[in-house]
Amino acid sequence: MYPDFSYLFHDIFGTEPDNWASLIKTFGFFLAAGVGVLAFLFRVELKRKAEEGIFKSAPIVEVEGLPATMSEILGNAFMGLLLGMKVPYAYAHFSEFQTDPSGVIFSSKGNILLGILMAGAFGFWRYWDGQRKKIEPPKKTKIDLYPHDRITEIAMIAAFSGILGAKVFDILEHLEDFFRDPIHVLFSGSGLAIYGGLIFGFIAVVWYLRKNFKGISILHAMDAVAPALILGYGTGRLGCQFSGDGDWGIPVKGVTDAGIEYAFNQPSWIPDWLWSQTYPHNVAQSGESIAGCTWSYCKELPVGVFPTPLYEILMTIGIFVILWTLRKRIKTAGILFFIFMILNGFERFFIEKIRVNDVYGYFGLNFTQAQFIAIFMIIGGIMGIIWRKRVSQRTV
- How many residues in the chain? 396
Domain span at residue 99 reads 66-134
pLDDT at residue 187, rounded to an integer: 60
pLDDT at residue 104, rounded to an integer: 80
Give which of 150, 40, 187 is closest to 178, Cα–Cα. Answer: 187
**21 domain-assigned:** yes
pLDDT at residue 382, rounded to an integer: 97
Number of domains in the chain: 2
Same domain, 211 and 90: no
**140 domain-assigned:** no
**139 domain-assigned:** no
Q: Quick one: which H or E segment has residue 288?
A: strand 288-289
First to last CA, the chain: 55
Same domain, 207 and 241: yes
Question: Burial code of 162-181, b = ≥16 C-beta within 10 A, e = fewer?
Answer: bbebbbbbbbebeeeebeee
Q: Tell me which of 134, 166, 191 is where a domain ends.
A: 134
pLDDT at residue 44, rounded to an integer: 96
Largest CA distance in the chain: 82
Same domain, 75 and 191: no
Q: Give the Cα separation of 256 and 275 in Å (integer).
A: 20
Beta strands at 365-368 and 359-362: parallel, antiparallel or unpaired: antiparallel
Same domain, 390 and 305: yes
pLDDT at residue 259, rounded to an integer: 57
Cβ-contact 396, 390 below 8 angstroms: no
- Bridge partners (DSSP) listed for residue 331: none
Give the relative orientation of helices 194-212 and 151-173 as an angle to the nearest 10 degrees: 140
Q: How is 74-90 classified by DSSP, letter by letter?
A: HHHHHHHHHHHHHHHHH
Q: Give the Cα separation of 208 and 221 in Å (integer).
A: 12
- Extract the runs of DSSP E, i.e. beta strands, from 146-275: 253-255, 261-263
Beta strands at 58-64 and 288-289: parallel, antiparallel or unpaired: unpaired
- Bridge partners (DSSP) listed for residue 359: 368
**248 domain-assigned:** yes
Same domain, 167 and 287: yes
Cβ-contact 279, 252 below 8 angstroms: no
pLDDT at residue 12, rounded to an integer: 94
Q: Tell me which of 134, 166, 190 is where a domain ends.
A: 134
Same domain, 263 and 160: yes
pLDDT at residue 345, rounded to an integer: 95
pLDDT along the chain (396 residues), means of 10: 94 92 91 92 95 88 88 94 92 82 79 94 95 89 90 89 81 72 61 72 88 88 94 93 92 65 82 94 94 94 94 97 96 95 95 84 77 92 95 73
pLDDT at residue 183, rounded to an integer: 64
Same domain, 267 and 339: yes
Q: Quick one: which H or E segment has residue 58?
A: strand 58-64
pLDDT at residue 162, rounded to an integer: 83
**pTM given for the model:** 0.86
Same domain, 368 and 282: yes
Same domain, 121 and 195: no
Encode pLDDT of 171-221 as tens digits: 776 677 667 767 666 665 555 567 777 788 888 988 999 888 888 899 999
**374 domain-assigned:** yes
pLDDT at residue 136, rounded to an integer: 85
Same domain, 94 and 242: no
Same domain, 114 and 262: no
pLDDT at residue 109, rounded to an integer: 86
Q: Residue 364: CB partners within 8 Å, gap ≥ 6?
A: none
Q: Tell me which of 114, 134, 154 is where a domain ends.
A: 134
Q: Residue 218: CB partners within 8 Å, gap ≥ 6?
A: 206, 209, 210
pLDDT at residue 362, rounded to an integer: 66
Same domain, 261 and 331: yes
Encode pLDDT of 344-375 as tens digits: 999 999 999 998 887 777 667 788 888 988 99
**141 domain-assigned:** no
Q: Give the Cα separation of 158 and 197 in Å (integer).
A: 9
